[in-house]
């Protein structure tokens, strides 16, 4: 959530930067500033009346001590009226603040100066392409056919148990999932991340804190009777560990990672681009999260990007890095890098990770602060990234490591799988 003070002092810059995200609603910014003016005026009136009331209370006490009861009663009658006015002003203030909050949460985060303009994924900027195309057998199979051929993933069983988008991993397929999770967590630990095992259900306050609510209700599974949400990513519970917390500057950076299943309702279209593991309602993911000093967040973003890239390199997958354009960025992000692996069998790029800097957008919502060495309280920057999301990684491994006899297991995974071939 943007800070009102920043919006007031930098109105034209805010409007210009929001336009990069194709968010062109100057009237909303004007309404926020107008409501803040009204809030300040109402607060000033209430404070003035309260000060007068406090002064009158002292005066009444003094008059009573001096035996001037009649004068004291007259002033007391005036203060009763004044208290009623203060009550009315405080009720008005509460309404104004509620309206202001409702307007503020409609504004997305401001994009970083390096974010390219654009409206569609085709306008994202390719930062890097790494690796070479694998040598595949003639007429390579897509992963959903390989999964059926080697009996490692059953999509129909998932439909029977739950519905589309909930696959069942079997035998070596299940072991590959577990191996990838363990590999990613082990690498995160080597990079200095502390592992957290967190709840898979969160409350509204947690959803609001990281920006999923009120923006993405339609993409989340809601447990109505308890008013809880199944997490779309471990980012939500892990980042909310620090909601309503004041950290010490020397505690920064905080580096956490966590493995969780993730749940998203957004899947639902049809075609080859969403077949098999390409888009699911439930999938596994290892997430990395950092809370850092504002001066270091973009340096940290590059480090997180390199960490994700190192995983892809160790897996032996060709990949590319994209800097997302304004129109393809998330609501809460200031700058996002997407990592995509190339599926030689499907002949297209598959997104497997997003690494984002949210600057103070989440910490302001979370009321997460840190106290500097001089005692000043500031908002830290928060960052997160998928390291990594499993479905498309597994899809790319099955497709890019296929041979005429079966599927090779990437060397880095063999210590975790206990086997080097699926056939």
Q: What is the pLDDT of residues 336-367, one digit of tens each?
A: 999 999 998 899 999 999 999 999 999 999 99
Instruction: Say how far apart CA 206 and CA 208 lie, in whole Å.
Output: 5
Q: How many domains in the chain?
A: 2
Q: How far is it, in rounded angstroms, from Cα 292 to Cα 294?
A: 6
Tell me, yes or no, whether 318 and 382 share the same domain.
yes
Tell whether 275 and 138 lie within a shared domain: yes
Distance of CA 406 to the CA centre of its chain: 38
- Residue 150: the pLDDT is 98
Q: Supply the pTM of this predicted model.
A: 0.91
Mark which of 43, 70, 104 sits at the end of a domain.
104
Tell me how far apart the alpha carbons of residues 44 and 175 are, in angstroms, rounded to a whole number. Answer: 64
What percent of the chain is predicted at pLDDT more than 90? 83
Residue 113 domain-assigned?
A: no
The Cα 388–Cα 341 span in angstroms is 12
Q: Return the C-alpha torsion angle 111, 114, 117, 119, nearest 10.
A: -60
44 C-beta neighbours (distance < 10 Å), count: 11
Residues 251 and 333 in one domain: yes
Whether residue 109 is contained in a domain is answered as no
Question: Which pLDDT score, from 0 to 100, does residue 371 have?
Answer: 96
Q: What pLDDT is recorded for position 271?
A: 53
215 belongs to a structural domain: yes
**Distance between CA atoms of 343 and 348, rounded to whole angstroms?**
6
Same domain assignment for residues 94 and 156: no
How far is residue 108's CA from residue 288's CA, in Å, rounded to a whole number? 23
Of residues 209 and 82, more confidence is placed in 209
pLDDT at residue number 51: 79
Q: Return the CATH number at 16.
A: 1.10.287.40
What pLDDT was estimated at residue 53? 74
Is residue 334, in this structure, part of any structural domain at all? Answer: yes
| Residues 83 and 162 grouped into a single domain | no
Q: Using alpha carbons only, what angle is made at residue 20 by residues 18 and 26, rounded to the nearest 5 degrees?
A: 35
Question: Is residue 150 a part of any domain in this protein?
Answer: yes
147 and 277 co-located in one domain = yes
E strand segments, 249-367: 254-263, 282-292, 319-323, 335-343, 348-357
**Sign, CA torsion 400/404/410/413:** positive
Judgement on whether residues 309 and 185 belong to the same structural domain of the protein: yes
* Any domain includes 112: no
- CA dist., res. 333 & res. 212, Å (int): 12
CATH code for position 398: 3.30.930.10
Q: Please provide the average confidence, as pLDDT, over all residues in the chain.
A: 93
The answer to whether residue 115 sits within a structural domain is no
* Residues contributing to the annotated binding site for L-serine: 233, 264, 287, 384
Answer yes or no: do 158 and 220 share one domain: yes
- State the pLDDT at residue 110: 98
Contacts 24+ apart (CB under 8 A), 80-83: 82/49, 82/52, 82/53, 82/56, 83/53
Please enumerate, by residue number, every residue annotated as part of a binding site for ATP: 264-266, 351-354
Q: Which two tokens stand for residue 28?
A: 């909303």
Do 126 and 100 share a structural domain?
no
**Tokens 């490591």 -> residue:** 401
- Look up the domain containing 334 and give its range: 121-422
Looking at the structure, tell me whether residues 270 and 386 fall in a common domain.
yes
Annotated binding site: 233, 264-266, 287, 351-354, 384
Tell me what pLDDT residue 72 has. Answer: 64
Residue 111 falls within a domain, yes or no? Answer: no
Phi and psi, residue 155, nearest 5°? -80, -30
Arithmetic mean of pLDDT, 144-153 = 97
Judge if 147 and 208 occupy the same domain.
yes
Q: Mind listing the pLDDT tens digit for each residue in 80-89? A: 777 788 888 9
Answer yes or no: do 158 and 57 share one domain.
no
Tokens representing 277?
């593991």
Between CA 40 and CA 211 the distance in angstroms is: 27
């Amino acid at each position: 959530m943007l800070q009102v003070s920043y919006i007031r002092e930098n109105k034209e810059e805010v409007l210009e930067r929001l336009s990069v995200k194709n968010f062109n609603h100057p009237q909303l910014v004007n309404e926020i500033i107008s409501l803040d003016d009204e809030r300040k005026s109402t607060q000033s009136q209430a404070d003035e009346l309260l000060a007068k009331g406090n002064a009158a209370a002292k005066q009444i006490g003094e008059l009573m001590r001096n035996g001037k009861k009649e004068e004291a009663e007259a002033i007391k009658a005036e203060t009763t009226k004044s208290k009623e006015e203060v009550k009315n002003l405080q009720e008005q203030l509460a309404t104004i603040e509620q309206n202001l909050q409702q307007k503020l949460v409609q504004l997305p985060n401001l994009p970083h100066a390096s974010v390219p303009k654009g409206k569609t994924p085709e306008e994202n900027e390719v930062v890097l392409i790494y690796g070479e195309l694998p040598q595949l057998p003639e007429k390579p199979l897509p992963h959903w056919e390989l999964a059926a051929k080697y009996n490692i993933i059953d999509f129909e069983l998932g439909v029977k148990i739950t519905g589309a988008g909930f696959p069942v991993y079997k035998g070596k397929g299940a072991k590959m999932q577990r191996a990838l999770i363990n590999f990613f967590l082990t690498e995160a630990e080597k990079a200095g991340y502390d592992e957290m095992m967190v709840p898979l259900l969160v409350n509204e306050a947690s959803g609001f804190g990281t920006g999923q609510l009120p923006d993405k209700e339609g993409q989340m599974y809601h447990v109505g009777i308890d008013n809880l949400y199944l997490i779309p990513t471990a980012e939500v519970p892990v980042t909310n560990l620090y909601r309503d917390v004041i950290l010490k500057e020397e505690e920064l950076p905080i580096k956490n990672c966590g493995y969780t299943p993730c749940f998203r309702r957004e899947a639902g279209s049809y075609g080859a681009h969403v077949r098999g593991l390409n888009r699911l309602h439930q999938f596994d993911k290892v997430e990395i999260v950092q809370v850092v000093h504002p001066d270091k967040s973009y340096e940290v973003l590059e480090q997180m990007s390199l960490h994700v890239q190192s995983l892809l390199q160790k897996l032996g997958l060709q990949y590319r890095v994209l800097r997302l354009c304004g129109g393809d960025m998330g609501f809460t992000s200031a700058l996002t890098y997407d990592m995509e692996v190339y599926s030689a069998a499907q002949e297209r790029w598959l997104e497997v990770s997003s690494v984002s800097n949210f600057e103070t957008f989440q910490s302001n919502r979370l009321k997460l602060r840190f106290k500097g060495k001089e005692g000043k309280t500031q908002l830290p920057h928060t960052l997160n990234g998928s390291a990594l999301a499993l479905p498309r990684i597994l899809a790319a491994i099955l497709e890019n490591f296929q041979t005429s006899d079966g599927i090779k297991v990437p060397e880095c995974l063999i210590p975790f799988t206990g086997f080097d071939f699926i056939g």
